[in-house]
Structure 1
Amino acid sequence: MSDTRDITYATVLSTRDDHGVRTITLNRPESLNAMNRALIDDVARAFEDANADRATRAIVFTGAGKAFCAGDDRCEHVHPETEEDARDLVLAIQRATHAIMLGPKPVVGAINGWAVGGGFEWAINCDFPIWARSARGFFPEVSLNLFVTGAVTALLPALVGLMKAREMLTFGERYDAEELARLGVAWKVVDDADLMATAQDTARRLADLPPLSVRAMKRVLNAAAVPDLHRALALETDATVTGFLDPETTRRLSAF
């Protein structure tokens, strides 16, 4: 892909403005942008395409409607029959993380409404996550007999410290945007009405900077601050595959 302005995927919108800012929007508002397999694959493709687009210099990542992303779509959850099926799904999730975090283009999050589970992970994967004042986030995975992905087992302790990360990942407490800013998980908190304008302004500031140095800064900061990123992704994959294969997980997801 090169120099493509707008792309529509099945569940994701991707548009680029004249400043070189590409906005990637989760587009399943009727289900609060919950993660089904189509959405997971589309997010990975949208970011990979954006990273390959020569005219895209910065990316805004947001969700259509009332939520950023409400986590796994329990209405479409199918219990995997084999370890191969489970691993294929988890690797698809981690492919999206690779494209967001390890791709060269800086990513500004515009986090609106709920960011739950995998949606919270995607918010943390952003380089500059801006949260709407009414937004909320939490990790329900442990209560669902599941495990987190998105390298958050390495990212979250680096942001908030091991003890707070242990609390956030284990107990599934719900956190508002202001607390997430105090913890260092949210970069900024703004009024809901100002969310997209602030995100777009930030992305344009990034787009105006020399791309070589911006990309180097993203790459080196991630490698230096979170040196175990790839190890975390591998360990999370194994743990999540085990969770997906347990029938208890399907029961809990259906009741969530």
Structure 2
Amino acid sequence: MAIEDDKRVRAAAIQMVSGPNLAGNLAEAERLVAQAAERGARLVVLPENFALMGRREADKLDVAEEEGSGPIQDLLAKLAIRHRVHLVAGTIPLRNGTPGKVRAACLLFGPDGRRLARYDKIHLFDVGVSDSEAYRESDTLEAGRRPVVVDTELGRIGLAVCYDVRFPELFRGMAEQGMEILALPSAFTAVTGAAHWRTLVTARAIENLCFVVAPDQGGRHASGRETHGDSLIVDPWGIVLDSRAKGAGVVVADLDLQRQAEIRRRFPVLEHRRI
């Protein structure tokens, strides 16, 4: 049955264990996107920092690109064209005119290779996970300011990144813009992931009656950092459709937008808000 008739979208979340070698990471992304397309995915979402997980946070500055130009963006456009997919490109570092800082940009490419949307990560991960593990993304990243929901032939897709998942008001605003599918590229730490990852992702799906395609980094990186993994796809009722615990691989599920519309009709929580 044609996708227009039954309103099913096959989506894939790509789990990676990216390192400090840009060329190696891009080759791995290329391999996994091809694998997702072979399994019938029309929407493919890469994880946060898929192109580089350096030994130092500042390493991203060395591979940063200008908007619309550079080897990372060129490859992403080619992959979207080659596999005829909508490709959400995790995050890549894009220069924004601020010395010593870049934007963590999540880009959406259409099957013709054209960029359909750009979302810059709004909430930056400046936290102490433990006495020995702390992060200050604001040292090298400049925060974005604008939520993004884009209309595509697959449905209305919202873009968010990792730490954003802890701020439910962001997603409620996106739901008001008609978001049906949330792409959530992430690189959750092992500690916070074990405690909160699946709960937060599932909560965002249930609250907003949306599908969530949530790829994560999943393993130990050259910097010594360990990421949680458990990339997953969740439906609007909070059911996990597919997941992967650790290591590089592909998570695939069919998103039934017709069923989603029926859930929203029968359970109109988005219309019942009073505050």
TM-score (norm 1): 0.33
Q: Which has the higher helix share?
A: 1
Q: Which has the higher strand share?
A: 2
TM-score (norm 2): 0.31
